[in-house]
A and B are shown apart, each in its own frame.
Chain A
Amino acid sequence: MRSSARLSFFVLVAAGVVAGAQEPAPSTPPAGAPPAVVAAEAADDAEEGPERKGRGRDPVVVALGLPQAAQAARQSGLSEDEVRATLRAAREAGVGAAETTELLRRTSKLAREHGPVEGFADLVKAELASGKRGRDLATAIKAAHVARGRGPKGGPPVEGVAEAPVEAASPASEPPAPAAAAEQAGGVP
């Protein structure tokens, strides 16, 4: 019986070592962290990299920010289904991950300012089907938010309001400069 207990101890220690080697992620957010905090942290992470600062504008480097851009879009008021459908629409239309990243970043900013657009994924699908890409696509999406945005807090769209919804990430977590620069440059790295 004593030898069984000793063997059990060694098995547990070995299993702990194996699990520790597989999972070196002590920096994961606490289980109860509010979504806005997690999104803000994710956006901060993205800001540190060249994909946010415009250094080395290789498309694959810009594309590294796609998961964070999708998460920011969710936090700005788009539903999970809308974000997933938008990503699939972009992928099926052959839009690269870098351009999709820029598209979602701009969309998050617009959704925070004007509120999310009902049927956003369908809008993107329609615009992509009509052949719009880059700046043309960005312009169409911006126009839709200005005209049809549900407002930053569920009310009517309000001009010049940059306040984030309660559940959204802080506007400071996504500075307007990169998005504006991307728009000026045509939006595609």
Chain B
Amino acid sequence: MRILSVALVVGVLLACGGGGRSTTVAGADGAEVDVAAVASVARKLRAQPQRADEILAEAGWDRVRFEAALFTIAEDPKASVRYAKLLQQQP
């Protein structure tokens, strides 16, 4: 029973953020920005800049909100580095 309890705790910890590596960052207004989600859209925008508005709309963003998310990421050094690394991955 003890083994089961330990396994459940470990499982929950792993499932909730992959060992503590959260992908969200809080902005000045308290809103949470998902760095991975923004980077995913950014990769698509880089690949097809002529489809910018379509790509943003498909992902549920508009230009104002997307730029605000980029500002929020830029304010956080760790989130900035993480975004840059995620941007390297294929769309």
Asked whether A97 lies within 8 Å of B14 as measured between CB atoms, the reply is no
Q: Shortest distance in angstroms between A26's beta carbon and chain B's nearest beta carbon?
A: 10
B7: A residues at CB distance < 8 A: 7-9, 11-12
A68–B73 Cα gap in the complex (Å)?
A: 10
Scoring A63, A64, A80 by chain B CB atoms within 10 A of each residue's CB, the highest score goes to: A64
* B87 and A91 within 8 A (CB): no
Which B residues have a C-beta under 8 Å from some C-beta of A?
Answer: 1, 3-4, 6-8, 10-12, 14-15, 17-19, 21, 23, 28, 36, 42, 45-46, 49-50, 52, 56, 63, 66-68, 70-71, 73-75, 77, 79-89
Contact residues of A: prevailing secondary structure: helix
- Does the CB pair A5–B73 fall under 8 Å? no
A187 to B14, CA, bound (A): 45
The reply to whether the CB of A181 lies closer than 8 angstroms to some CB of chain B is no
Say yes or no: A19-B46 contact (C-beta < 8 A), given A68-B80, A71-B80. no
Say whether chain B's binding surface is mostly helix, strand, loop, or mixed: helix
Q: A11-B11, A69-B74 are in contact. Are A23 and B18 (CB under 8 A)?
A: yes
Question: CA of A11 to CA of B67 in the docked complex: distance in angstroms?
Answer: 40
Question: In the complex where A18-B14, A71-B80, A80-B77 touch, is A27 in contact with B70 (Cβ < 8 A)?
Answer: no
Residues in A with CB closer than 8 Å to B83 are 67-68
Complex Cα gap A12–B84 (Å): 31
Beta-carbon nearest neighbor of A98 in chain B: B67
